[in-house]
Amino acid sequence: MTRELDPLAGSVERRPASHDLVLPHRLLDAFEGCLLCVDAGGIVTVANRYASELLSSEDGGLLGSSFLTLPEAKNQRALAQAVHAAQAGRSVHDLDLSHRHGSRTRVIRWSLTSMRELGTSDEEATAEEARPNSSPMLLAVGIDVTERLEHERQNAEDDAMAVMGTLAAGLAHGIRNPLNAATLQLELLLSRARRAGDASLQSQLAEPAALVQTAIGRLAVLLDEFLHVAQPREPVRLPSSIAELFETVLAHKRPLMEGLGLILLSKVSDVGLLARCDSAKIKQVLVNLIRNCIDALGTRGYGLIELHAEPRAGGGVSLAVLDDGPGLAGHMHGDAAFQPFTTTKAAGTGLGLSIARKIVSQHGGTIQLSARPGGGTAARFWISE
């Protein structure tokens, strides 16, 4: 398939003598997503630059290839059903399909709409309309949601782990109390039998009592181990380099941020700045705060997140995570955002800030969210000497 590239029209691929979109091609090319026209036979007839770069196979362009075989084999059936529905006039939204792109898999979230529904002025679509039994052309719009899904998955997993830890610790304590009571009652029973001087009763009780004691002992060991894993431990505060701490957080988050078009920078007043902290826990605070910035900026496709640190006037270290996002929702000022389970996000848990505040207070400090003068949000916290 030859590509028809008109230097004045940008790089939108068009299939000669076929359907076309009555939209400026430069506009289509500027769109940071896939935009395709698919004819009645499922063949791609128009593709913008983004789609061509993401979806073209190694052996040629997108034009003339089958839309139905673009995603990975496991998703092709779902796409065929969606195409069928869209052709019948039922638009399909939020259809996530995996596509191979080089050595990686990208997840594209597709919306399919028939040109008839759009009331397009495209000549052929109008002609098709005159033939009511034929399938209409489809407009397929796809957004790459790979990073967003990964970010949501990580968020949900981290928050679930934190909740599980708290629940598990509570449950373990709840089990331990009745277990202690049972051990006590068993010993009471045995000592009563001994005092009664009834040898036959004593020998009858000996074996079941030993079995119960062994079972309780096993449960107690299990609980101890479980608690050790589940219970959030107290922080162990050691002098730690803030520059190094920022660097590990940056290295961990950067690939995701780049995929989302975001920039993450760190600014430490003095490379040698030390904070007496549990670095794993402060890392968790930073990660939770950065995650909120990503949530605020992620769908926008550009943005700057900054990590700052400097010595605090009264001793200790002041830290901040800043973004240039849309800012706090009206009812999220002051303490509100820190309440557990308070969230403005459809998929939020509302736990990130409450966990962060707990850790900061374990380090003798406080944390606040505020609006930045030029727009965006600042999360500032400090830890004591």
Ligand X SMILES: Nc1ncnc2c1ncn2[C@@H]1O[C@H](COP(=O)(O)OP(=O)(O)O)[C@@H](O)[C@H]1O
Binding residues for ligand X (CB under 6 A): 288, 292-293, 295-296, 323, 325, 328-329, 332, 337, 342-345, 348-354, 377
Minimum separation from the CB atom of position 138 to Mg ion (A) = 38
CB atoms within 10 A of CB 87: 19
CB atoms within 10 A of CB 233: 9
CA–CA gap between residue 199 and residue 202 (Å, rounded): 5
Minimum separation from the CB atom of position 341 to Mg ion (A) = 12
**Contact yes or no for 9/22 (Cβ under 8 A):** no
If contact means CB under 5 to 8 A according to the sort of partner, which of ligand X, Mg ion, none does residue 128 touch? none
**Contact yes or no for 38/21 (Cβ under 8 A):** no
303 near Mg ion, rule: CB under 5 A: no
Minimum separation from the CB atom of position 151 to Mg ion (A) = 11
If contact means CB under 5 to 8 A according to the sort of partner, which of Mg ion, ligand X, none does residue 345 touch? ligand X
Strands (E), the chain: 13-14, 34-38, 44-47, 92-101, 104-114, 138-144, 238-241, 262-268, 274-277, 303-311, 317-323, 367-371, 377-383
CA–CA gap between residue 272 and residue 242 (Å, rounded): 8
DSSP reduced 3-state for 11: coil
Instruction: Rank residues 128 and 147 by Cβ distance to ligand X and give the closer one.
Output: 147
Minimum separation from the CB atom of position 352 to Mg ion (A) = 3
298 near Mg ion, rule: CB under 5 A: no
From 138-146, 285-293, 314-322, 370-378, span contacting Mg ion (CB under 5 A): 285-293
Minimum separation from the CB atom of position 374 to ligand X (A) = 14
DSSP reduced 3-state for 139: strand
Q: Which residue is nearest to ligand X (CB)?
A: 352
352 near Mg ion, rule: CB under 5 A: yes
Go through the chain and tell me how many residues it has: 385
292 near Mg ion, rule: CB under 5 A: yes
| Count of residues interacting with Mg ion (CB under 5 A) | 2
If contact means CB under 5 to 8 A according to the sort of partner, which of ligand X, Mg ion, none does residue 377 touch? ligand X
